[in-house]
């Protein structure tokens, strides 16, 4: 079956660094997405990885290991506005996005 696993909730402190992990098992693989979703809002695109390695984009970085079926999203210099759910999604062999349930990130001052 197809499965995306990520922690349900994480807490971090303003100014710190946090890493949100995601493991995936999908039929085929055409890339891994991270989206951010604030409460009662639409998801917004953060990153896309299809090759192994780290992609850095400002305070946010995303890492992929295809052999391990593993990705993480790294958030640096955390700000209160980063409090949101972070959704991991894998693009399977049919180019359909398989979504995780999301990780709710709580930032404390």
Partner 1 sequence: GAGVSQTPSNKVTEKGKYVELRCDPISGHTALYWYRQSLGQGPEFLIYFQGTGAADDSGLPNDRFFAVRPEGSVSTLKIQRTERGDSAVYLCASSLMGPTANTGELFFGEGSRLTVL
Q: Which is nearer to partner 1, 13 or 27 (CB)?
A: 27
Contacts of 22 by beta carbon, 8 Å cutoff, 6+ apart = 4, 5, 6, 32, 34, 70, 71, 72, 73, 88, 100
Q: Give contact residues for partner 1 (rule: CB under 8 A).
A: 4, 8, 30-31, 33, 35, 41-45, 48, 87, 89, 91, 94-97, 99-102
Question: Strand 97-99 to strand 84-91: parallel, antiparallel, or no bridges (unpaired)?
Answer: antiparallel
Q: Which is nearer to partner 1, 22 or 75 (CB)?
A: 22
Q: Which is nearer to partner 1, 13 or 44 (CB)?
A: 44
d(CA 57, CA 46): 9
For residue 42, the minimal CB distance to partner 1 (Å) is 4
For residue 15, the minimal CB distance to partner 1 (Å) is 28
Token look-up 């790294």 returns: 74
Token look-up 């995936």 returns: 24
For residue 60, the minimal CB distance to partner 1 (Å) is 15
Q: Which is nearer to partner 1, 2 or 13 (CB)?
A: 2
């Amino acid at each position: 079956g197809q499965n995306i696993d990520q922690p349900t909730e994480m807490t971090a402190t303003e100014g710190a660094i946090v890493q949100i992990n995601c493991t995936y098992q999908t039929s085929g693989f055409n890339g891994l997405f991270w989206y951010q979703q604030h409460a009662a809002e639409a998801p917004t695109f953060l990153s896309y990885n299809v090759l192994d390695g780290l992609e850095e984009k400002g305070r946010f970085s995303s890492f992929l290991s295809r052999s391990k079926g593993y990705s993480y999203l790294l958030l640096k210099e955390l700000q209160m506005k980063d409090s949101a759910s972070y959704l991991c999604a894998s693009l399977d062999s049919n180019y359909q996005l398989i979504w995780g349930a999301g990780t709710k990130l709580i930032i404390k001052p």
